[in-house]
Homo-oligomer: A and B are copies of this chain.
């Protein structure tokens, strides 16, 4: 997927700029040069900058045909519906993309290479389908020996989905680089894999092999890097995804965790579950890792995008007082506050 220069049109119909369109906004944040257009018929005529506050003049168009004049060579399915199924109305868009010789980058659980119509069409047009969640190759049980990972591992965990776990890990890796580390961001979800072109699609691996998959990846990456910033998934109190969350915690055997939280969110997204207090969440994560490896939560990452700057600073202060830990919003204020905590891991 990384061989030819990507010129991507993102399908984000109805969701661009929304938390549910985070693959689209993430790609534009980190790889704007790879995006030629975004499909969202509800916002035609605007630019990425208009909607996101970054991304420059990447245009929003109403459909795939209108994007072709920008010369895309790939369509990215840039939103992730619950359950990861391809909505019927998107079949036409995928068909049209393949018919025009565009690759399709697909992060859904539904694997498009398994779809006879699409795989045949792709073949006939010389296009490729990249199913980011194809996970049948993972078939090992975790070894569970932290000494095999020859780098420090930082895992972002969260009080819910969509709290900033990916962004925090990416930003931490960027900041650590400035301070002499040789860091690497490890994507574990379809958004991160779509953006950076590699990772472990942990939520698509069968139960027994989830931990083994991330462990194996980290052992390999630790031969090249000295700091692995791993993107967490879900939350340990999520009714549907907690198994993935814990497999990632135990499979990555982190040296430290950063707890990500969306201030003001009281219940787990789409559920009635009340999010426990941050202090309780910290304790629960440390209690769960202790039997396998001593691992502390060393900082809190807050997604303050809906707050004013003043409110955000007040929230950060409140959280620091309540938890006794440094708190950051990595997008808004950077994450240099965490660098000192990282340095302590070296000792």
Please report A residues at the B interface, Cβ cutoff 8 Å. Answer: 82-85, 109, 135, 139-145, 202-208, 210-212, 236-248, 250-251, 253, 271-276, 284, 287-288, 291-292
Expressed in whole angstroms, the Cα–Cα distance for A141 and B242 within the complex equals 11
Write out the residue numbers on chain B whose beta carbons fall within 8 Å of the beta carbon of A204. Answer: 206-208
Write out the residue numbers on chain B whose beta carbons fall within 8 Å of the beta carbon of A85. Answer: 139
Write out the residue numbers on chain B whose beta carbons fall within 8 Å of the beta carbon of A208. Answer: 83-84, 109, 203-204, 240-241, 244
Find out whether the CB atom of B243 lies under 8 angstroms from the CB atom of A206.
no
A236-B246, A236-B288, A239-B253 provided; 6 other pairs, C-beta below 8 A? A144-B273, A205-B206, A207-B207, A207-B247, A243-B243, A273-B291
When A239-B142, A240-B144, A242-B247 are in contact, do A207 and B203 touch as well, CB less than 8 Å? Answer: yes
Minimum C-beta distance from A302 to chain B (A):
20
When A284-B288, A291-B275 are in contact, do A211 and B144 touch as well, CB less than 8 Å? Answer: no
Minimum C-beta distance from A270 to chain B (A):
8
Contact of A211 among B202, B212, B242, B275 (CB under 8 A): B242
Write out the residue numbers on chain B whose beta carbons fall within 8 Å of the beta carbon of A211. Answer: 239-243
Ordered by A's residue number, 21 sampled pairs between the chains whose C-beta atoms are within 8 Å are A83-B141, A109-B139, A142-B239, A142-B240, A144-B273, A202-B207, A207-B210, A207-B243, A207-B247, A208-B244, A211-B242, A211-B243, A212-B240, A243-B243, A243-B244, A243-B245, A243-B246, A243-B247, A273-B292, A274-B291, A287-B287
Contact of A83 among B139, B238, B240, B246 (CB under 8 A): B139
Minimum C-beta distance from A136 to chain B (A):
10
The 5 residue pairs across chains A and B that have the minimum distance between CB atoms: A243-B247, A144-B239, A142-B240, A207-B244, A237-B291
Minimum C-beta distance from A208 to chain B (A):
4
Write out the residue numbers on chain B whose beta carbons fall within 8 Å of the beta carbon of A139. Answer: 83, 85, 109
Write out the residue numbers on chain B whose beta carbons fall within 8 Å of the beta carbon of A247. Answer: 207, 242-244
Expressed in whole angstroms, the Cα–Cα distance for A206 and B237 within the complex equals 18
Write out the residue numbers on chain B whose beta carbons fall within 8 Å of the beta carbon of A143. Answer: 239
Find out whether the CB atom of B250 lies under 8 angstroms from the CB atom of A242.
yes
Residue of B nearest to A135 (CB): B206
Expressed in whole angstroms, the Cα–Cα distance for A195 and B239 within the complex equals 29
When A83-B141, A207-B202, A272-B145 are in contact, do A239 and B243 touch as well, CB less than 8 Å? Answer: no
Residue of B nearest to A244 (CB): B207
Expressed in whole angstroms, the Cα–Cα distance for A140 and B240 within the complex equals 9
Expressed in whole angstroms, the Cα–Cα distance for A237 and B141 within the complex equals 14
Contact of A206 among B82, B145, B203 (CB under 8 A): B203
Find out whether the CB atom of B82 lies under 8 angstroms from the CB atom of A141.
yes
Expressed in whole angstroms, the Cα–Cα distance for A83 and B216 within the complex equals 14
